[in-house]
């Protein structure tokens, strides 16, 4: 099934959390001169116009990044994220939202490399156009990122952030995430693996963090941000989470300072809140 298009959801509350964490990780990797790889198993279209037909249909960015745009009281991690989004909106109006690969590129140095997988034909074409002038540093492949990831591990640099961010359209996506992370940890034990997941009523979603924890990583972090109460009918995403294997030791401190502020600004009702659990060796 290839019906999912991230353009309908660009800049929503889930993107805010996911991209804030991603930028924190890449900034940490940039503390050393050694090169790194950024690998994205479900890269999407690259960058999204918020006035497009898809984005305008759902207007999810309004209650996501739109609630944060222009704020001058943001804590450091949020301000860092907003500054990165601002690079794609140089005139101050929020017109474009960068996807994960585009944000990663804001952190990539000459020695760093991006490896991007996208199976949807339209999104693959958009992603290829986004990085058309960067063939030396960026490789874009039309491929199933779940299966293709193993061919890149371990990367030559032995330093990598791997984002696993499927649409979860199918129940088997939850199983494939766990299987993919298990295999990746075996091939590349020191890699940083980042799994985004939706907060939904369905049992596969509720159980995913526990299944990831059962993989036995010595260092891990699980952050969840809810913006509303779980719906009574059990339908719809009310928040999202990011599970990080091998996170840097300072990530919990950076996130704790941001989450209370974020949950207050993105709250839809009194069910908004956050959780942060971690164990870092």
The residues assigned a catalytic role are: 165
- C-alpha to C-alpha distance for 113 and 36, rounded to whole angstroms: 7
- Over the range 79-102, which residues count as b (16 or more CB within 10 Å of their CB) and which as e? ebbbebbeebbeeeebebbbbbbb
Determine the straight-line distance between the first and last CA of the chain, rounded to whole angstroms.
40
- In degrees rounded to 5, what are phi and psi of residue 132? -60, -30
Indicate the helix (H) or strand (E) that contains 162: strand 160-164
Measure the CA dihedral 47/50/53/59, to 10°: 130
Residue length of the chain: 281
For the beta carbon of residue 216, count every other beta carbon within 10 angstroms. 10
Q: Look up residue 113 and give its two tokens.
A: 């490399």
At residue 164's C-alpha, the angle toward residues 196 and 218, to 5°, is: 80
The sign one gets for the Cα dihedral 27, 5, 131, 52 is: negative
- C-alpha to C-alpha distance for 100 and 103, rounded to whole angstroms: 5
- Asked if 196 and 208 touch (Cβ cutoff 8 Å), the reply is no
Q: For helices 76-86 and 13-29, give the axis angle rounded to 10 degrees.
A: 100
């Amino acid at each position: 099934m290839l019906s999912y298009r991230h353009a309908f959801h660009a800049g929503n509350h889930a993107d805010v959390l996911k991209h804030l964490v991603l930028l924190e990780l890449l900034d940490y990797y940039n503390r050393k001169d050694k090169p790194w790889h950024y690998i994205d198993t479900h890269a999407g279209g690259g960058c999204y116009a918020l006035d497009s037909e898809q984005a305008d249909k759902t207007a999810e960015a309004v209650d996501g990044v739109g609630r944060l745009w222009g704020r001058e009281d943001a804590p450091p991690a949020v301000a860092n994220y907003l500054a990165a989004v601002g690079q794609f909106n140089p005139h101050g109006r929020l017109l474009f939202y960068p996807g994960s690969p585009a944000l990663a590129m804001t952190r990539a140095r000459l020695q760093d490399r991006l490896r991007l997988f996208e199976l949807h034909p339209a999104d693959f074409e958009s992603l290829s156009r986004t990085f058309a002038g960067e063939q030396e540093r960026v490789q874009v492949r039309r491929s199933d990122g779940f299966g293709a990831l193993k061919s890149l591990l371990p990367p030559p640099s032995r330093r990598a952030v791997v984002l696993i961010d499927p649409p979860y359209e199918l129940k088997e996506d939850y199983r494939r995430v766990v299987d993919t992370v298990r295999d990746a940890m075996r091939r590349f034990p020191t890699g940083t693996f980042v799994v985004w997941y939706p907060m939904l009523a369905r049992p596969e979603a509720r159980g995913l963090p526990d299944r990831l924890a059962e993989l036995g990583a010595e260092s891990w972090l699980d952050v969840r941000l809810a913006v509303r109460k779980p719906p009574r009918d059990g339908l719809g995403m009310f928040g999202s989470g990011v599970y990080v294997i091998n996170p840097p030791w300072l990530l919990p401190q950076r996130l704790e300072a941001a989450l209370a502020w974020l949950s207050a600004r993105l709250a839809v009702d009194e069910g908004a809140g956050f959780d942060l659990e971690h164990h870092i060796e």
